[in-house]
Each structure stands twice: as structure tokens, then as C-alpha cells.
Amino acid sequence: MPIFLVRRFLAAIPVLLTVAVFVFLLLRLTPGDPAAIIAGDMATPEQLERIRATLGLDQPIIVQFGTWIVDILRGDFGTSLISRQPVLNLVTDRMWPTIWIGLITIALSVIIAVPMGVLAAWKQGSWIDHLVMTFSVLGFSVPVFVTGYLLITLFALDLQLFPVQGYTPPSQDFGSFAARVVLPSFTLASIYIALIARMTRASLLNVLGEDYVRTARAKGLTERRVLFRHALRNAAVPVMTVIGTGFALLISGVVVTESVFNIPGLGRLTVDSIFARDYPVIQALILLTAGIYVLVNLLIDISYSFLDPRIRY
């Protein structure tokens, strides 16, 4: 088991390094001059050269990359070209709304999607199965921003049950926080629920015909215990894989959802930084996203060893 964990951890290091190289080269070779953005349209050539020298943009690419990597390892992601604040402070200030919405979305998705998939597999071919599959197709096909605007129109404007936009920290007013994260969380969860429910159904159908399931039923166990205790646990490995893979949808969906619901999180910061060509912030956000994605997949791999003891060996 420890060797398995060490191998998975070491395998993540080249991935992060490769992402760092591509992020650095992609943004450095993109048309647009950061020095011109800082100085403005009326800047003289001398002012532009001075700003480039200050930012290290006059150095060779390999020197710039080495300096950038060393600074990141020290926890210095640079300074925002627009706000002139440390990038790490900007990310720290904006990350909690995104974290709360992401955690609530994942919890809602798993709580709703897994029982839906189990029920659809148990009632295969029935109207319940067709209803779950129809919802899965719609949920995965409709864009996030369309779902968000539909929920705003129905529950915020017509029924006036929830606020339209904005965010309140839970430490400030938990009631307002809960009311404002419901619609964004369900908007994000619509795709996630469809994906997990579909995979749960498909994975469970593969194991319901196994000998150990028939043996459990022959022993007189209740159908609920057979489904959740015996069948679902053995079908959980592909489901956990989908949860980890679908995390990419969650990250991309946050960008759109926070823009629709006007939430000051990492998604909004990403959009604002891209439009402003704020290279240090964009680089930090992409690296953070890649790091989170690698970490989630590492945790998913670790969970395999608990769901299936054979993987430990």
C-alpha cells in the first residue's frame, strides 16, 4: 500500500511540470505585450523597455522560465499587472466562494445521482429507467449557462424563492449564504448528476448478474442490502473514475456559473484576467486548476485500494 501511494504521487510530478511548461510558453507566445497593457496607449518606447526590464521580459525564454519556476517554488506567483497586488493574495481572497460551491455541488451530485443510477439499474427497462436516462441526456446536453438562466427565471424571478445574483460569506450571514448558493450549486450539479447517474447504472448492470449477487439473494438478504452492500461496492470503481474525470467539468463550469450568478470566485477572476491579459494571474490559476485536478485523481486512485483490496497488491 505505501509503495502504491508513493508511485502515484511521483507520477503526478511530471504531469505538473509539463503543465507548467505549456502554461509558460502558451502565455508568453500569445500576441499582446504586458508592458503595453501596464503603461497604456500613450507610453513611449523608453517606458515600455523599462517596464519589460522590470518584469524580466527582456531576458531569454529559458531564463524567464527558470526564474518563474524558482519563484513559484518559493510561493511567489508574481504581481498582478492590473491591480498591482500579489497574485497569491488575489487567489486566496477569491477561492472560498469557489470552494464552497464546488463542495456543495459534489455533495448534491453524489447524494442524488448514485441512488438514481441504482434505481435505474434495478428497474431496467421500466419507466423509471427511461426517466432517469432522459434526465441524464438532457442534463449532459444542455449548456451550464442555459440551465443557470432557466433556474434564475423560474426560482428567482417568477417564484422569488432565491436571490438572483451575489454571494454572502457563511461567517457573515449563513442564511443568506445558503440562499445564494442553491441555484449556482444545482446549475453545476445538473451535468455532474447526469454523468454519475449514467455511469452508476451502467456499472451496476454489469455486476447484477454476477454469482455473488445471486448468492446474496439466495441467502435471503433484502434487495436494498444486495444493491447497496454487495453490488454497488463492486461497481464503485468505475463510478469513482467518472467522479474524478467529471471534476474537469466542474472546474470549467465554475467559470461560466460564477459569471452568470455574479459570484466573486476564481471563475470570475479567470474571466477578468483573460480579458485584461493579466498573465501572472492567468498562469497561477491554470497551475492551481491543474494541481487540484491531479490531487483529485490521486485521491480517486487511493480510494480504489479501499473499494477493491486487490488493487493494493
pLDDT (tens digit, 9 = 90+) per residue, 73-123?
A: 887 787 787 777 888 888 888 888 888 888 888 888 888 988 888 888 888
CA distance 287 to 274: 15
Q: What angle do CA 67, 71, 73 make, to 5 degrees?
A: 120
For position 55, what pLDDT does the model report?
66
Amino acid at residue number 126 = S
Spell out the domains of the chain, with CATH numbers in brackets: 2-73 (no CATH), 90-308 (1.10.3720.10)
| DSSP codes of every residue in 87-111 | HHHHHHHHHHHHHHHHHHHHHHHHH
Q: Residue 227: CB partners within 8 Å, gap ≥ 6? A: 118, 122, 204
**Looking at residue 36, what is its pLDDT?**
67
Contacts 24+ apart (CB under 8 A), 115-118: 116/193, 116/197, 116/200, 117/196, 117/197, 117/198, 117/199, 117/200, 117/201, 117/203, 117/204, 117/239, 118/200, 118/201, 118/204, 118/227, 118/228, 118/232
Q: In angstroms, what CA-CA distances link 226 with 13, 181, 197, 208, 213?
A: 41, 36, 19, 9, 7
Handedness of CA 53, 56, 57, 59 (dihedral sign): positive
For the full predicted model, state whether its pTM sits above 0.85. Answer: no
How far is 144 from 136, CA to CA, in rounded Å?
Answer: 14
Grid coordinates representing 291 are 494541481
pLDDT at 311: 61
In this predicted structure, what is the pLDDT of residue 4? 66
Task: With both helix axes pointing from N to C terminus, report the angle between 236-245 and 247-260 in degrees, rounded to the nearest 10.
Answer: 40
Among candidate residues 32, 68, 61, 94, the one with its CA nearest the CA of residue 275: 32
Distance CA 276, CA 270 (A): 10
Q: Which residue type does 163 have? A: P
Q: Collect the ranges in the chain with pLDDT lower than 70.
A: 1-2, 4, 26-43, 54-57, 248-249, 307-313
**Count of CB atoms situated within 10 Å of the CB of 31:** 5
d(CA 304, CA 297): 11
CA 69 to CA 207: how far, in whole Å?
A: 47
Q: How far is CA 34 from the centre of its chain?
A: 29
Instruction: Check residue 204 and give its pLDDT.
Output: 83
